[in-house]
Structure 1
């Protein structure tokens, strides 16, 4: 079923719970006069092929893209507000499948207004609708941020003094204690002890600045600021910044700001219902962007811990919850009803405006262009032959204009370059200003920039289709302009992006792309291709799309020192080393493996000590003009003299074994006597 057929089938549906992004219906089975035949056939075929059982009884039909979610609510008939147990999301275009298990989550999503999922002639509608009316009259459905999760809903109902008898809402004689998660060791958790004194900006705030998502004219609010280190640091950088903390800054007001940081707050809250409320409240204070960060499974470094609820109690009587990456991402998305963008391990961006979201995603696919360097590489740097040279009198203006032209791959509009009037005045017109650049640096320089920008857009469109097909109207004016300029129309861009995605899923195509490169290291035995982060932008589009697929689950690949593409197994590995650039044999500190087929992320911490793996022969992964390459080559020669070669080093040697070996040989860490 293609996009057009899918949209036509959805338009023919006359019932269901319609939300801004999706239409929900109870599974109609294999026959239904109210469901278009094409949809029924599609549902049946997907169930058969993917072995989706009858317990997946609710269907979510995504409106923005041909995508179907099979949702399991086994207690749909019996429970007035059944819990989501599992989901299977299928992209009908790419065939990509994502499975999520909610059965062990302490606070799963629940359903309301069950009658809306049923066809008009279903006999259950009357009973379900009667309950909905009772809940509306009791005012229980007003606080939409609290009702979507089990514990939050139970607490809200109990606070209002109600209970359920089947599908009837009843007022209780005495208000019971609000329900809370069943914790095995009831105790007072010392949340205040989780605050730390910072001598540097936190990782989420550094990431925010590195990605240019806190702009000069914007305000910053730190929700749960602890001792206020980030607020102080951001203020010193010249931004308007404030913060609030329930313990250390309780007298400060919670204030709205362009950017709100919820940094490592959710993971110290032992009550899953409270996490939802805090997340929703922080979102209400974010005008443009909410930054959410938590600890991730695999980062556990505490001793003497005890299980407590869905987390652990540390020896300092603090609580810590280590989230699975998919778990925290779905919590953000289920609570806020927007896409959560992973930007680093455990750090997510949530944008209030869809155009801002898509602009950010596109910016991650955009590469920096040094136009003078580009011209030199092409051998095109040449002297201007014209007698009149506006460049001599308007050098700074035209340099900025040309940089904008090369970044965009086209002439900028008035809202994209603020001094266009000055450029017109200096060169008579914008086309003449562009021609002046071409005369000076050669047309291939401009064409190379256009090709580079077109590839960036193609990578953006391809990677965007992994989640939802983006309506053209949801894109910013700049992106709309780019797509028209480079592809003629959005449909052409999507078609080319789809072809690129299919190619990225073909191991033979990946291997063919790798064989064309003169950098990076191919492990012939294991089928890996590994490069340093400085070379990511030099990869062909097919490999960039493959890596971007992993980035959508993990974060910015440029944060890792090395990226390993598993050419045949549909996986990526991002590795971090201690002082990679300045150390001859850097120590492995963190390894993140992303399974693109299962959409799963594994995090492996490597604590300091003699068992840490060392990296040898760094020159395999860097460019030929890397500034430290000569020193690396000298060390490589010395390793070979010791009998250690690329072919026998395997995955590396532990720090302890290596130090013992060089001690026996009477060598220093630099492998000299």
Structure 2
């Protein structure tokens, strides 16, 4: 649309060879199921539409320039992908968001460019944004600003799915189900081919969950194979064959997961008991005397998050992660093994500002309440992986910052990789052996020098060593 100041919004539409970040996030979050219709509202050149069509999604696109026909119709899922930031008129911006919300029957997915991208956008100040050299407009959002703006216009509680990507659900039950999906692990069931294997699968489930499932929680095949058993018969079979210690451990894990869920739910807005996902309701009934008791315990957990001494104690007691004087660093494979208050710490940050899609290690700050997600893409291949990026959320201000190290010539790197993992991680012994070899070779004698690529390489040369994979060798004479 041509503006009086010569803006041409269609120039902001880019061609996509793959799914956009918001669409990939929604796919991973199971918001794009085959029974849902999808509208890409402001689809530009239609890259996401074509990609989703190839995934057999029921998707249509509408754009005022590229696809003005047919008129946009209500759909289960509506995408508003990088649209708000290119509208220079605040009134039109709000009207567009409201129209997208009205078109969504289940969930509206809104994404926008964030302030950390300012270095990539060159232009002059115009209104509440920038007029670029291409005569297009960009309003860059703070993470908290985007979330608050969508909440204000839609009147719904909004969840941050990823940096710059938020979900607004039409049904609060759907929002709570999404939160549960992020916090409570999916039920895993062994394959059932006959009655015996179905019972084995049931016993295995009880050992991990700590309670008997309802029939509608089971895979259909398993349910059909054991449907002829009466409830008391199933209880007897589980009591006979299940390991009581495993069941007790499963019950403890489910109890803590439920407390974590209810605490995060309060952080994002708690609903009545009947609004909870069915599986969470069953956990509450199984492991608590009442919903009130469960809520009271989760509220106390949330209060403990404000207690520096309690948080520090949890960090010291954690069986996973590398503890420094200022923070705890934990690999993503071990994050669910942290004490519950620390899991809550990380989840609150992710709900408020979005967890990035690519990350390897989370950093929980001891004082000040800030969470960082650090990306080391070669963690498993590189004995001393280099950092690619970091994304930080300040839980007090809800402000975020992002740093890319892609163009750095002297990136920070990691040592003692085993310390970031759970002790029983299959890779931990190999990483531990490397650390021991490096200690014996004197490579950690100057810890202030080895934190970057150049410093580490200099220490390898000083000690006459070189690395081949995760093994240390004497350096051959020049």
TM-score bracket relative to the smaller structure: 0.7 to 0.9
Deviations 1:219-271 (A, max 9, x none): 22211222222222222222212111222222343122211121222122222
Give the structure 1 partner of residue 273 of structure 2.
Answer: 472
Mapped to 2, the partners of 1:415 and 1:300 lie a distance apart of 50
- Out of 206-215 and 598-607, give the one that drifted further: 598-607
Q: Shift in Å at residue 452 of structure 1?
A: 1.4
Contact kept, 8 Å, 1:339 with 1:350, in 2: the verdict is yes
Q: Shift in Å at residue 438 of structure 1?
A: 4.2
2:56 aligned with 1:242: no
Give the structure 1 partner of residue 321 of structure 2.
Answer: 520
Give the structure 1 partner of residue 332 of structure 2.
Answer: 533
Contact kept, 8 Å, 2:150 with 2:158, in 1: the verdict is yes
Give the structure 1 partner of residue 230 of structure 2.
Answer: 429
Q: Shift in Å at residue 330 of structure 1?
A: 0.8
Which of 412, 416, 426 matches 1:613? 412
Q: What is the Cα-based RMSD across aligned positions, in Å?
A: 3.2
Contact kept, 8 Å, 2:77 with 2:105, in 1: the verdict is yes
Kindly report which structure 2 residues correspond to 1:109-508, keeping only aligned pairs within 5 A, or say none: 187-302=5-120, 304-368=122-186, 393-395=194-196, 397-398=198-199, 401=202, 405=206, 409-417=210-218, 419=220, 422-425=224-227, 428-508=229-309
Kindly report which structure 2 residues correspond to 1:534-549, keeping only aligned pairs within 5 A, or say none: 534-549=333-348
2:327 aligned with 1:509: no
Mapped to 1, the partners of 2:384 and 2:132 lie a distance apart of 34
Contact kept, 8 Å, 2:208 with 2:247, in 1: the verdict is no
Mapped to 2, the partners of 1:333 and 1:650 lie a distance apart of 47
Mapped to 2, the partners of 1:519 and 1:210 lie a distance apart of 26
Mapped to 1, the partners of 2:441 and 2:44 lie a distance apart of 52
Contact kept, 8 Å, 1:371 with 1:406, in 2: the verdict is no
Q: Shift in Å at residue 468 of structure 1?
A: 3.1
Contact kept, 8 Å, 1:402 with 1:434, in 2: the verdict is no
Q: Shift in Å at residue 288 of structure 1?
A: 0.7
Mapped to 1, the partners of 2:355 and 2:176 lie a distance apart of 16
Q: Shift in Å at residue 612 of structure 1?
A: 3.5
Match of 2:31, SS state, is coil
Deviations 1:112-133 (A, max 9, x none): xxxxxxxxxxxxxxxxxxxxxx
Q: Shift in Å at residue 194 of structure 1?
A: 2.2
Q: Shift in Å at residue 348 of structure 1?
A: 0.8
Structure 2 unaligned segments of length 5 or more: list them.
none
Q: Shift in Å at residue 366 of structure 1?
A: 0.5
Match of 1:326, SS state, is helix
Deviations 1:539-562 (A, max 9, x none): 121211222222222223785311
Mapped to 2, the partners of 1:421 and 1:621 lie a distance apart of 40
Mapped to 2, the partners of 1:499 and 1:475 lie a distance apart of 20
2:421 aligned with 1:603: no
- Distance change (3 Å), C-alpha of 1:220 and 1:483: same
- Out of 498-507 and 295-304, give the one that drifted further: 295-304
Match of 1:592, SS state, is strand
Contact kept, 8 Å, 2:443 with 2:460, in 1: the verdict is no
Give the structure 2 partner of residue 163 of structure 1.
Answer: none
Q: Shift in Å at residue 638 of structure 1?
A: 6.7
Mapped to 2, the partners of 1:213 and 1:502 lie a distance apart of 32
Deviations 1:488-532 (A, max 9, x none): 322111111112122222222222222333321111xx3311101
TM-score, structure 1 as length reference: 0.63
Mapped to 1, the partners of 2:186 and 2:451 lie a distance apart of 34
Q: Shift in Å at residue 537 of structure 1?
A: 0.9
Q: Shift in Å at residue 621 of structure 1?
A: 1.0
Contact kept, 8 Å, 2:254 with 2:283, in 1: the verdict is no
Match of 2:116, SS state, is coil
Q: Which has the higher contact order (CA 8 A, sep 6+)?
A: 2
- Distance change (3 Å), C-alpha of 1:305 and 1:637: farther
- Distance change (3 Å), C-alpha of 1:271 and 1:449: same
Kindly report which structure 2 residues correspond to 1:25-64, keeping only aligned pairs within 5 A, or say none: none
- Distance change (3 Å), C-alpha of 1:662 and 1:263: farther
Match of 1:260, SS state, is strand
Match of 2:125, SS state, is strand
Deviations 1:373-421 (A, max 9, x none): xxxxxxxxxxxxxxxxxx8832554466556656764333344346476
Structure 1 unaligned segments of length 5 or more: list them.
1-184, 373-390
Mapped to 1, the partners of 2:82 and 2:384 lie a distance apart of 32
Larger Rg: 1
Mapped to 2, the partners of 1:430 and 1:272 lie a distance apart of 60
Give the structure 2 partner of residue 584 of structure 1.
Answer: 383
Mapped to 2, the partners of 1:301 and 1:347 lie a distance apart of 20
Match of 1:291, SS state, is strand
Q: Shift in Å at residue 344 of structure 1?
A: 1.1
Count of matched residue pairs: 467
Mapped to 2, the partners of 1:646 and 1:595 lie a distance apart of 34
Contact kept, 8 Å, 1:572 with 1:595, in 2: the verdict is yes
Give the structure 2 partner of residue 128 of structure 1.
Answer: none
Mapped to 1, the partners of 2:193 and 2:73 lie a distance apart of 50
Contact kept, 8 Å, 2:304 with 2:310, in 1: the verdict is yes
Kindly report which structure 2 residues correspond to 1:631-642, keeping only aligned pairs within 5 A, or say none: 632-633=431-432, 636=435, 640=439
- Distance change (3 Å), C-alpha of 1:295 and 1:583: farther
Match of 1:466, SS state, is helix
- Distance change (3 Å), C-alpha of 1:392 and 1:288: closer
Match of 2:117, SS state, is coil
Mapped to 1, the partners of 2:438 and 2:53 lie a distance apart of 49
